[in-house]
Amino acid sequence: MEVLNAEWDESALVQKLSVYLPEHVMETLRKRAEREKRSLSNLAAYILERAVEQDKDQDSEGSS
């Protein structure tokens, strides 16, 4: 799996989201966050941002 470096724009507006996750998903995220030396919140935001960007890319490819 290719890991991309994400840049965090401190001036960007951010909003809070609370989610309920299955225990096995939470444990997997905790382990990955620890391995990558980042907070669980930061990892979740990073994963969600990447998913949104990939979805945008797929949408733009489909409409071309």
pLDDT in tens, 7-33: 656 667 888 899 999 999 999 999 999
Reply yes or no on whether the pLDDT at 6 is more than 80: no
Please work out, in degrees rounded to the nearest 5, the angle formed at the alpha carbon of residue 51 by the alpha carbons of 24 and 28. 15
d(CA 60, CA 46): 21
Supply the pTM of this predicted model.
0.69
Q: Write the pLDDT tens digit of every residue in 33-63.
A: 999 999 999 999 999 999 999 998 888 887 7
End-to-end CA distance of the chain: 27
d(CA 13, CA 10): 8
